[in-house]
Amino acid sequence: MVSVLFVDDDATGLAALKQAYGRCRGDWDMAFLSSTDAALDTLAGGGVDAVVTSARLSDMSAARFLRLVKDAHPATARLALAGPGDRSAAQSTLPVAGECLSKACGPEVLAGAVERATRLSARLYSSATLDLVRDLGSLPSLPDNVQALDTALGDEECSLAHIADIVSTDVAMTAKILALVNSSFFGLRTEVSNLRNAVAYLGVEALRDFALAGAVFRAFTPGRGLPTNWLGDFQHHGSAVGEACSSLVRNNVARCEASVAGMLHGLGELVLADRAPDQLRAIAAEVAQGADADEVELGQLGTTLPVVAGHLLSAWGMGSQVIEAVAYQREREAGGARNPELTDLLAAAEAMCGPEPGSDAQDNPGDVPVCLSASCAPDAEYLAALGLGSVLVGLHSPAKVPSPAG
């Protein structure tokens, strides 16, 4: 049974939550509280799977409340509910809420979000994953520019100009954002050269995800025993998968998420390359001989590298859609027929960018591949069922871009 704690210090809002969920969710253990202090006391007792809070609270900001929950109870899923059009409140929760929904989203939408979030948290914070992360040593904290961005987002009075000033301190990230906004994907008629305008166009959530993605590659350094060109090849592959994944969707926000998910889908391997390169080599050797990547990783690590990647992205406050796609990238049950989700699109993009059958990358077991998930690429039948059969046309042909999914 899922345990859900609802928090809203507005009596009308709390009453609405009780009316919507109090009787119709027999499979949830629910509590409805009107103060953050009472909520924190309840959380301290343990056993809470998810917290759903109003994005506007009076006794403390929702961003601060969710930060306290995140720091003390990282495995507890965190969701926020903002009033329709209350962009500043929603924006302030970005670094600490897995998802912020509109209060008008409806019970079924929120129920689905809670169930997905708790299922994901159970995977990312399993005892086996926590044991491995502990054994690998303390993982990097948020880069300074992302920490500064999060501090600014927590202030509901923060302006886009201030956010643009923070991002502008990272020259490489500024160039990446401007290149993205001016790419053919967005189809703008005039070039955007002002970072403030780019921030306004992309949206703060996408901006933060890109800032975090850009910092990841600077946080880890591959260790001994790996080819000297491994990191460069890893970054190139991530960029290629990100570009392929974003080509499969039409919506601009979804394109941003798809691009970031593709860039970061191999983060688990980067962590192992930095902290335990010998283990990465041993896993890669078995996979090169035809072993299943999940089985090998579970046997040697107790968890899988996509889950390790998702765990770190969760700790850093990446958006839930990207975390889901990265953590579940090898699964084949994400979307329904002709209704692919980001997880499916990421798997398809991996198939597009993986090594060709019979290539040297597959035949030399001494090499350490830049992406073990390439050995788990989806088959033609699965892609066709999702309406992604056209992806097969573009396999191993970068010049051919498949038709976007609906």
124 pLDDT exceeds 90? yes
What does the pLDDT look like over 156-199, one tens digit per residue? 777 778 888 887 887 777 777 787 777 655 666 677 777 888 77
> Looking at 23-37, 57-71, 262-276, which range is the least confident one?
23-37
At the topology level, CATH places domain 134-394 in Hypothetical protein af1432 (1.10.3210)
What span, in angstroms and rounded, lies between the C-alpha atoms of 163 and 204?
8
Place of tokens 């990191």: 231
Bin 142: left if φ > 0, else alpha if -120 < ψ < 50, else beta.
Answer: beta
Residue 248 confidence (pLDDT) = 87
Q: Are 95 and 317 in contact (CB under 8 A)?
A: yes
> What are the sequence ranges of the domains in the chain?
2-125, 134-394
Q: Are 53 and 65 in contact (CB under 8 A)?
A: yes
Q: Which of 22-26, 105-109, 338-342, 356-360 has the highest mean pLDDT?
A: 105-109
> Looking at 56-70, 218-232, 360-374, which range is the least confident one?
360-374
How sure is the predictor about 361, in pLDDT bands with cuts at 50, 70 and 90? very low
200 pLDDT exceeds 80? no
Who has greater pLDDT, 62 or 140?
A: 62
What span, in angstroms and rounded, lies between the C-alpha atoms of 227 and 366?
10
Which strand (E) or helix (H) includes residue 64? helix 62-72
255 pLDDT exceeds 80? yes
Q: How far, CA to CA in Å, does 103 sit from each of 305, 315, 322, 398? A: 35, 26, 23, 43
What span, in angstroms and rounded, lies between the C-alpha atoms of 134 and 311?
12
Residue 55 confidence (pLDDT) = 93
Q: How far, CA to CA in Å, does 294 sit from each of 269, 372, 376? A: 13, 9, 9
261 pLDDT exceeds 90? yes
Above pLDDT 70, what percent of the chain? 88
Residue type, 249: V
Who has greater pLDDT, 209 or 83?
A: 83
Instruction: Return the axis-axis angle of helices 320-327 and 252-264, rounded to nearest 10°.
Output: 40
Q: Are 129 and 308 in contact (CB under 8 A)?
A: yes
Average pLDDT over residues 207-212: 80
Residue 161 confidence (pLDDT) = 82
Nearest to 387 by CA among 329, 344, 346, 352: 344
Average pLDDT over residues 121-144: 88
140 pLDDT exceeds 70? yes
Place of tokens 């350490």: 368
At the topology level, CATH places domain 2-125 in Rossmann fold (3.40.50)
Name the token pair of 368: 């350490």
What does the pLDDT look like over 143-163, one tens digit per residue? 777 888 888 887 777 777 888
Fold agreement (2-125, 134-394) = no
Who has greater pLDDT, 190 or 122?
A: 122
